[in-house]
Amino acid sequence: MPSSPVASASPSRTPEQTRQLRRVALSGLLGTAVEFYDFLVYGTVAALVFGELFFPGADPAVGTVAAFGTFAAGYAARPLGGVLFGHFGDRLGRKSMLLLTMGLMGGASFLIGLLPTYDTIGVWAPVLLIALRVVQGIAIGGEWGGATLMVVEHAGERRRGLWSSFTQMGAPLGSLLSTAVVTLVVALPREEFAAWGWRVPFLLSVVLLGVGLFVRLRVVESPLFAEVRKDRAEARLPVLDVLRRPRPLLLACCVGIGAFTAQSLLTSYMIAYATGIGYARPQVLTALTVSACVALVVLPCASALSDRVGRRPVVLAGAVASAALAFPVLALVDSGSPGLLILAVALGHGVAQSTMYGPLGALLTEMFGTRVRYTGASLGYQGATLVGAGFSPMIAGSLVAASGDSTPVALLLCGGAAITALTVLFVRETNKDSLTEAAERPAAAHTEEVTA
């Protein structure tokens, strides 16, 4: 006989519950890997060739800024995806929305690989590129929140941080996969890369999509959601419940800004910046590969530590480290040494950023009640990505072009880390909260308690 939702949240598990938890964790890992593979492939190719392919005739610096403008368009669409998929995920179920978001993400990425360029269809090329980025952004807006809370709601009470780190580890895994593929295609002669090589990483995303959908079809619905779904008497628009008491949402947005500012500046933008000051592309991609490997170790360690000492101190430690390392990291990059470039990205992204990012999965989902958790966590996370990552590369590119040095990049890193550090002071510790009890409370009451 199937176990009750409460039983599934308890420390004692049946073998089937353990299998489902592992399957859900793998599903979250693959979903985030697809998200970040698409994200990093786009950012990498935008830095290398999108300026000349989709915005020809512009000054190279202006073309790069325009290419990162399409990058930002995808981020601007993410909160809409958080509202849309959060609404149906909170009302109809997590699993069906996760299948849909993954399909849209991978499908949009595949279609970008088929796009004709400006030379072929003129102004329609950047228009279609922006449209596909918006579709991708809407899908991604609903992906992370659903994937993370599925893991957290299956995980029980004591190791939510550790299990949620599987979803977070999709970021460096996606980075490794994207870097490996891009490394192969950038080895092509420049003319061949610009002609067709840039398309290969986008087209290969269909492989990740297929594997991810296969795994997701085999997971079961969140037990906590299945329980609250029985109660339709209090059903409202989830987004209205979240906005009625906006403090948790604002805190969720602000606490993630530092991690996403560091992520975008030290991955996608770093490719454009480092190649612009003389590094060879393979050297920059090697630095990103080493950083991703470091992150795969730091993320689960930071997340597991947050189960023991709390989410707040771990996130705060990462924010302080990110601010302290900002200027030294950029100085190492400016040295011109490939070895020091690797050290810089590994410290700034692999260690400091990952320490901030690791506990966010559990922290953001714990800040909202079950009836609005998909909507609240998605909007909080995507709001942080929009502010922290969506515009940082474009702002950094413009400021560096005007100033001629890396100081604006370091200042942006410090600013994002400072926002996270200050926000942590206003966030209540949640690592010991019971999600089973939260599932039984009205959403607004839980939200109010979290902010009390």
pLDDT digits (tens, 9 = 90+) for 52-69: 787 776 555 555 556 666
Mean pLDDT of 2-12: 42
Identify the pLDDT of residue 359: 94
Identify the pLDDT of residue 82: 85
Looking at every residue in the chain, the average pLDDT score rounds to 83
Is the pLDDT at 441 greater than 60? The verdict is: no
Three-state SS annotation for 228-271: HCCCCCCCCCHHHHHHHCCHHHHHHHHHCHHHHHHHHHCCHHHH
pLDDT digits (tens, 9 = 90+) for 59-110: 555 555 566 666 667 777 888 888 888 888 887 777 888 888 888 888 888 9
Under the banding of pLDDT at 50, 70 and 90, the label for residue 279 is very high
Residues 275, 282: Cα–Cα separation, whole Å: 10
- Residue-level length of the chain: 452
Give me the phi and psi of 335, to 5 degrees please: -65, -25
pLDDT digits (tens, 9 = 90+) for 359-401: 998 999 888 887 888 888 888 998 898 888 878 888 888 888 8
Q: Are 138 and 104 in contact (CB under 8 A)?
A: yes
CA–chain centroid gap for 22, Å, is 21
pLDDT digits (tens, 9 = 90+) for 256-265: 999 999 999 9
Q: How many other CB atoms sit within 10 Å of the CB of residue 78?
A: 29
Higher-scoring residue by pLDDT: 415, 54: 415
Residues 166, 86: Cα–Cα separation, whole Å: 21
Q: How many other CB atoms sit within 10 Å of the CB of residue 8?
A: 26
Identify the pLDDT of residue 433: 81
Identify the pLDDT of residue 9: 40
Identify the pLDDT of residue 182: 82
Q: Are 31 and 164 in contact (CB under 8 A)?
A: no
Is the pLDDT at 4 greater than 60? The verdict is: no
User: Per-residue DSSP letters for 57-126?
Assistant: TS-HHHHHHHHHHHHHHHHHTHHHHHHHHHHHHHHT-HHHHHHHHHHHHHHHHHHHTT---HHHHTTHHH
> Residue 337: which residues within 8 A CB-CB, separation 6 or more?
none
Under the banding of pLDDT at 50, 70 and 90, the label for residue 436 is low
pLDDT digits (tens, 9 = 90+) for 186-231: 888 888 888 898 899 999 988 888 888 888 888 877 777 766 665 5
Which range is least confidently modeled, 174-178, 232-236, 314-318? 232-236
pLDDT digits (tens, 9 = 90+) for 107-151: 888 999 999 988 888 888 888 888 888 888 888 888 888 888 888
Mean pLDDT of 273-296: 91
Identify the pLDDT of residue 61: 59
Higher-scoring residue by pLDDT: 170, 74: 170
Q: Which among 365, 413, 375, 145 is positioned nearest to 264, based on CA atoms?
A: 413
Under the banding of pLDDT at 50, 70 and 90, the label for residue 439 is very low
Question: Which structure tokens are listed for 191?
Answer: 């003319």
Mean pLDDT of 290-313: 95
Residues 195, 375: Cα–Cα separation, whole Å: 41
Question: Which structure tokens are listed for 354?
Answer: 């990952």
Residues 250, 140: Cα–Cα separation, whole Å: 20
Q: Which among 48, 307, 80, 350 is positioned nearest to 182, based on CA atoms?
A: 48
The 8-class DSSP code of residue 389 comes to I
Q: Which among 348, 353, 312 is positioned nearest to 333, based on CA atoms?
A: 348
Is the pLDDT at 246 greater than 70? The verdict is: yes
Helix axes 160-168, 281-309, angle to 10 degrees: 170
Which range is least confidently modeled, 43-47, 106-110, 151-155, 427-431? 43-47
